[in-house]
Structure 1
């Protein structure tokens, strides 16, 4: 390499010319070319060469140089090891991976170069540090294995959150595999996705991931999916009987996806993989199908524009007390159930807590003291938990018996089952309380975590450290008595350490066990084995105490890890109790009612309200509305009325009420009957997908096509303004054809909002269609939205009036009225006698105002006008106009 050129690429570096430490760095780096290497040097993680350039740019760190044996210094930057999580989190968020290279031995004891090795690779889907994770959402890594068999796609897909130990898997055999995979990705929203090469042929999946998620995609080689590799991975994780233990089908593809996931975790995490103890298999039919469009339109967990929690269904229902409950609530909202018996178990549990105000309040109070033991257990298993965090587990155990007892007071089957699953973990509480001090330090660096009385050696070492002089005094007194030398004394200097000094006059009395160390003019200095042992204890006590505390704490973590299944089962039960109590609390605060949920075809809502908007309008009255839908006489409601009148709100609130009922929540209505729907589809609002080269109309038609292909008789469909992205007649034709297809071929419950008043006549031609409109009160050219839905078609679109409300200039509004009247008068089929030329229309719309009236109005001072004066003035104007 030429002089004066700073090396940037690792592969360009002349290894032989490097210093020993940099050779070690380079050897490790070449094993991890795709990760940024955090290389431990003392109290810092340092980065060199191209990693340093990347990290300094992304983290805004000062770029320096380090002598490396080459003519030029190697680019270098670093971060403190005790705060590395902050920097690693920023790199992970930017799509990088970080390899942690740790010192594997004490530098003070190392002979030559300190041994170093990779202890872990942090990727978006393998984060376990609490500082790098959101408390209220899971962090899933996904693995997908696809294969085309006899011209038909099959897929195995699994999701795991290694911070909590949860794992889910399902087989997919859908006719359209792309949308099916996308639906599952939307259900769990993974931050990292492992795929096999065959998935690259499913372009809609790769396009969706690239354009609509922030997930890191990792392409794994076909070798990772070989049967032998899969079987070895599954056997190592779950035992020889893994297929029965995990419930995997004999010919399924899930084991290949899961095996590849386990292989990846072993590559990156090195240890701690046994956190995943089981896999929950689920079928697509277990949960309501919600497309990405539907999830976005209904704003279940984030708003469409700000992508924030406030203004979502999650925001309204979240009255949880624990981080585990928050994650469980999000999961339930993302995955509504379709089994009415399971739904009713949840509803019965919510009802019991709803009626038991004192028990519910006590339960929420107890839950407020429960720590995030799911994620804490993972850090314990990895050995990265701090003493303060382990003490928090103990503090949680104090409240578990109370949580268990309060849940048991409610006699519904689900609450009884959950109370039984809450293990008080009394043995762990006792162990933690015996092992740790009341207020342990945040880390073990300076010791002080182990409680007095837990370990005799720790107590002795502390006594030596804090009371060494006392031990010396005791030994001195003992030696005086044994030797009969009254002036014997024990002293210390840095050269010889501790010694026994005896004056010359008592030299004859010195025992043979004393070993001469130094001769003075006044006497002799000696040592004894006992004094040497005490010296070693005193001088090495602090160092040995730190080592011993580390070992005892590691033993404590291992003892807790052995109870992983008990803790995991308890955490899962506590999370569900928290969500059920949250539903009950939301129902009390927001005046919700228990819905009737069964397998009928009915969706009947009396005085239903939009759960989110009514909370955003606190202090204002939300107008409730009724809905009756079924799969026979009322399977489609065609809803007309002006923009801004509330059509979209009305349709969305019905979808949200059905969804709320199917997650087990009470609903915003005075009464509600929900026949389980298997899917909700929405086509609401206009949007372009310019990145994919699609116009608003193309996006709209694509979404409608998916609905027509995937909806079943048991689905709920919401369509808003179909066909408005093209010409009037084309749009009207498409809208009518869609209505007919849904009614004749699918037969599902549908809410269809439109401005095409011509469609309102379809109730005469197609069975099951009913017309409704949003009531409007009109006075002259002014309108008031009543927000009430009534039967029958709207009598006007009120487009110009809405434009006026939106603030269009008065001149534009007048011109629009003029053009409208001319168009209405000259339209084909209009009464010829009523046709007016444009001047007549203009005169009709803008009648001359007498100058006398104008003068009176201009001279009026409105600010000083009393009510009586205003009435009199109005009377005068009227007389003048006559």
Structure 2
């Protein structure tokens, strides 16, 4: 250290405590970075890398202006980096040696409060995970912008914890360094997230009130770890943190992270955009906090039929009472984000304009309460009763704040006249003093006859009388004291002006100082109302989401679902809500879904692009929409309460983890069939396509049989293996359905209509034609397909199907069997081999071949016999 200058030594000492963050080191009007921070930041931010003398050597350096630092911080945080803000904590004029500096805040992806770094309708969660010796995991989450806190315990594997964490879409995960390295690596890779460390896990004394209702040591441990991290990084008030909510994962429908992605609940698969997702479609909320609650509901559908029906009842009432609903929407549109305003109050970075927004919002609450109370529904009446208008806080803000205060809290003009006597006194002195100045200017002009004479002010010289040099001779001698000389004018002061200047400036200084003090006190008073504001925000959010459900349901002709206790599904004319929306003016083809104890697995066949995947997804979305309390896209719907939804739809690989498309397919299928219960919904699309035909077909059949015999979950299974349709005869609860398509003039027309029974062909070449592959390629594919579909003589010769009738084919096959006894190159290679020379196993295979009636076999039966023969020969 001694080789560096004292300032660089100070930098290195502070940097040593924040090695995982960029250190923004305040020097004058800049935040400077040095050494590796400078090199990396210059690349990330595309700013100039320079150097400075550090003692015995020049060291790398780059910097960003203090006034525009937020833009650079935003870029870094969005890329997953942390920033330690190091400020001067000592007046440079009083410092002896290097000015004292300290890190005043650590900005991380999970702890940002800046509006430019958070999305209005999304929570910004930070999650802590603790692993205990009995393989139990604790998970705690906090949204620092709203103060919301929650925690749960999970038994299982690290994968289960990752799936639960993923449901919160966190921006940062906090763990102990003692967590196994393999698990830390898995969390970071699977969630693609910033991983931070915190070793302290006891509950801090200052926050025991948040968990006084919790008596589980493991929950307190994981919550304590999260709180210690927040205290260490934020270094400021956290008064807005809400009491810890202990939730059970089995209170909600489980939707694993893969299923959430496949169903595009919150973002699209390809573009990772909100538009095109279920949340985007359903979002008819008019407040930011309502938008956040909607996302939470979509990701955590309910299992309680009672609570679901309470929501549906309010939605139905809001649909019927159109005028009340529209009036309610209009009032809610004028309510600002109360949750995040409360957070900013606690953090101490709220300004007067924010509090004016709060005041305007509170002014709308009585009307909202009245409108909700007018809804003719018992559940709505309970909601209305829970609305607390916060009249005391509203009155305080009405009395204290101006209508249009400035953004800065140190410029004055925030507090109303009449709120504080001493402030009024200073304002009067300032106002009257300036009036006196204006009168003095008029008086001086009259007495001197200098019409261009003016009285001005600047911060360096104070008030002055300015006279052009051409008019200096008109001034009376001895009365004016020269203050400043300009090129074309002179500036003067008089005893009278000097005396008044002292009074005015003193009044303005004291006025600014007192007004800031009054505003700070007001901010502290507002803090005491934070719990009330948070409760009010929760109620308003729920009302907003429910009115949004009513709006979207009425607009799209949705129906109220009913819930069956006997695991029955009866959906008439169901639709995929998002696909229908994206079709614009094109008509969506609705389809029925009928499943009961005799139809537990629907085996779906049909060509590519016919709508099999859409049919599967729409059932899952209808179930999810129903269980969040929204009407559903159908003319009528009876549904069970699903405890879990599993989907394996679409091809994807995980190259980073070294997993092929087929491996990912198998892992997701395994997760579904091992976690599902008879109350679950499973959607499996084209299982087995990632390997050889026979391997894939065998796996697909085995999976269907396992679900049928062991799991008993409601299952939609789409496939191109038409051979699997024979399972309808073999498994009592499997039923074939297919998506209809017709061929017109050599081209396929998709009808998108689902019928009972199996499809007759796949139309793969027709789909390739629709994709505009070259004509010569399409013609060649058709020719190859024709060759492959011709019957094959057992001696290896192709039989012309159009020239061979059924009796001729039988005669040819009989002759081939006789030929096999004398010469069977199928088993003996190119050499002839007598029957006597065959082994016992080979004779058994030949006997099996003789007994087999090939013409009566289905393709699946033929494949099974062939597999059995091959096994015997091994």
- Contact kept, 8 Å, 1:301 with 1:309, in 2: the verdict is yes
For 2:266 and 2:790, the matched residues in 1 are separated by 50
Is 1:28 the counterpart of 2:28? The answer is no
Deviation at 1:65, TM superposition (A): 5.0
Match of 2:396 in 1: 431
Deviation at 1:809, TM superposition (A): 2.7
* TM superposition score normalised by structure 2: 0.82
Is 1:400 the counterpart of 2:382? The answer is no
For 2:334 and 2:301, the matched residues in 1 are separated by 29
Cα gap change, 1:769 to 1:195, in 2 (>3 Å): same
Of 567, 584, 587, the residue aligned with 1:601 is 567
Of 152, 158, 164, the residue aligned with 2:140 is 158
For 1:394 and 1:111, the matched residues in 2 are separated by 47
- Contact kept, 8 Å, 2:331 with 2:364, in 1: the verdict is yes
Of 72, 91, 95, the residue aligned with 1:87 is 72
- Name the SS of the counterpart of 1:118 in structure 2: strand
- Contact kept, 8 Å, 2:653 with 2:660, in 1: the verdict is yes
Cα gap change, 1:827 to 1:219, in 2 (>3 Å): farther
For 1:182 and 1:37, the matched residues in 2 are separated by 31
- Contact kept, 8 Å, 2:792 with 2:798, in 1: the verdict is no
> Over residues 806-845 of structure 1, what are the superposed CA-to-partner deviations in whole Å (9 max), with x where a residue is unaligned?
323333333333332332223468999962699xxxxxxx
For 2:393 and 2:63, the matched residues in 1 are separated by 40
* TM superposition score normalised by structure 1: 0.81
Is 1:360 the counterpart of 2:339? The answer is no
- Contact kept, 8 Å, 1:38 with 1:47, in 2: the verdict is yes
For 1:497 and 1:723, the matched residues in 2 are separated by 85
For 1:415 and 1:106, the matched residues in 2 are separated by 58
For 1:689 and 1:50, the matched residues in 2 are separated by 32
Deviation at 1:115, TM superposition (A): 4.7
For 1:496 and 1:268, the matched residues in 2 are separated by 44
Cα gap change, 1:427 to 1:722, in 2 (>3 Å): same
Match of 2:196 in 1: 218
For 2:275 and 2:462, the matched residues in 1 are separated by 68
> Over residues 372-391 of structure 1, what are the superposed CA-to-partner deviations in whole Å (9 max), with x where a residue is unaligned?
12111111111111211111
Which has the higher mean CA deviation after the structures are superposed, 387-396 or 296-305?
387-396
Cα gap change, 1:495 to 1:96, in 2 (>3 Å): closer
Cα gap change, 1:729 to 1:545, in 2 (>3 Å): same
> Over residues 576-598 of structure 1, what are the superposed CA-to-partner deviations in whole Å (9 max), with x where a residue is unaligned?
11111111111111111111134
Of 133, 141, 160, the residue aligned with 1:180 is 160
Of 69, 73, 83, the residue aligned with 1:98 is 83
Match of 2:613 in 1: 648
Map 1:737-756 to 2 at 5 A: 737-756=702-721
Deviation at 1:206, TM superposition (A): 3.5
Map 1:522-533 to 2 at 5 A: none
Match of 2:185 in 1: 206
For 1:573 and 1:493, the matched residues in 2 are separated by 52
Deviation at 1:689, TM superposition (A): 1.8
- Name the SS of the counterpart of 1:568 in structure 2: helix
Match of 1:271 in 2: 236
For 1:495 and 1:187, the matched residues in 2 are separated by 59
Cα gap change, 1:80 to 1:386, in 2 (>3 Å): farther
Of 18, 37, 47, the residue aligned with 2:5 is 18
- Name the SS of the counterpart of 1:273 in structure 2: coil
Match of 1:572 in 2: 538
- Contact kept, 8 Å, 1:302 with 1:312, in 2: the verdict is yes
Which has the higher mean CA deviation after the structures are superposed, 310-319 or 811-820?
811-820
Cα gap change, 1:827 to 1:315, in 2 (>3 Å): farther
Cα gap change, 1:28 to 1:819, in 2 (>3 Å): closer
For 2:776 and 2:282, the matched residues in 1 are separated by 47
> Could you list the runs of 5+ residues in structure 2 that have no partner in the other structure?
441-456, 464-480, 482-492, 804-874
Is 1:39 the counterpart of 2:4? The answer is no
Deviation at 1:674, TM superposition (A): 1.3
Deviation at 1:805, TM superposition (A): 2.5
- Contact kept, 8 Å, 1:662 with 1:676, in 2: the verdict is yes
For 1:496 and 1:709, the matched residues in 2 are separated by 82
Of 586, 592, 599, the residue aligned with 2:558 is 592
- Name the SS of the counterpart of 1:275 in structure 2: coil
- Name the SS of the counterpart of 1:552 in structure 2: helix
> Over residues 459-513 of structure 1, what are the superposed CA-to-partner deviations in whole Å (9 max), with x where a residue is unaligned?
22223333226689999xxxxxxxxxxxxxxxx9999999xxxxxxxxxxxxxxx
Map 1:217-296 to 2 at 5 A: 217-221=195-199, 224-225=200-201, 230-231=202-203, 233=204, 235-239=205-209, 245-249=212-216, 252-296=217-261
Match of 1:636 in 2: 601
- Name the SS of the counterpart of 2:132 in structure 1: strand
Cα gap change, 1:595 to 1:473, in 2 (>3 Å): closer
For 2:595 and 2:793, the matched residues in 1 are separated by 37
Deviation at 1:201, TM superposition (A): 5.5
> Over residues 42-77 of structure 1, what are the superposed CA-to-partner deviations in whole Å (9 max), with x where a residue is unaligned?
444333444333333322233445566x36565444
Is 1:617 the counterpart of 2:596? The answer is no
For 1:570 and 1:307, the matched residues in 2 are separated by 33
Is 1:125 the counterpart of 2:110? The answer is yes
Match of 2:46 in 1: 60
Cα gap change, 1:801 to 1:422, in 2 (>3 Å): same
- Name the SS of the counterpart of 1:662 in structure 2: helix
For 1:781 and 1:770, the matched residues in 2 are separated by 30
Match of 1:144 in 2: 129
Is 1:194 the counterpart of 2:174? The answer is yes
Cα gap change, 1:46 to 1:446, in 2 (>3 Å): farther
Map 1:800-879 to 2 at 5 A: 800-827=765-792, 835=800
- Contact kept, 8 Å, 1:684 with 1:720, in 2: the verdict is yes
Which has the higher mean CA deviation after the structures are superposed, 320-329 or 829-838?
829-838
- Name the SS of the counterpart of 2:123 in structure 1: coil
For 1:76 and 1:549, the matched residues in 2 are separated by 41
- Contact kept, 8 Å, 1:721 with 1:753, in 2: the verdict is yes
- Name the SS of the counterpart of 1:717 in structure 2: strand
For 1:811 and 1:655, the matched residues in 2 are separated by 41
Cα gap change, 1:206 to 1:22, in 2 (>3 Å): closer
- Name the SS of the counterpart of 1:148 in structure 2: coil
Cα gap change, 1:302 to 1:494, in 2 (>3 Å): closer
For 1:162 and 1:454, the matched residues in 2 are separated by 33
Cα gap change, 1:561 to 1:824, in 2 (>3 Å): same
Cα gap change, 1:804 to 1:578, in 2 (>3 Å): same
Which has the higher mean CA deviation after the structures are superposed, 799-808 or 304-313?
799-808
Match of 2:678 in 1: 713
For 1:362 and 1:495, the matched residues in 2 are separated by 56
Deviation at 1:102, TM superposition (A): 3.0
Number of residue pairs the alignment of both structures matches = 762
For 1:788 and 1:37, the matched residues in 2 are separated by 61
> Could you list the runs of 5+ residues in structure 1 that have no partner in the other structure?
1-12, 476-491, 499-517, 519-524, 839-882
- Name the SS of the counterpart of 2:535 in structure 1: helix
Deviation at 1:540, TM superposition (A): 2.8
Match of 1:382 in 2: 347
- Contact kept, 8 Å, 1:600 with 1:676, in 2: the verdict is no
Which has the higher mean CA deviation after the structures are superposed, 448-457 or 653-662?
448-457
Cα gap change, 1:635 to 1:533, in 2 (>3 Å): farther
- Contact kept, 8 Å, 1:246 with 1:280, in 2: the verdict is no
For 1:369 and 1:472, the matched residues in 2 are separated by 44
- Name the SS of the counterpart of 2:133 in structure 1: strand
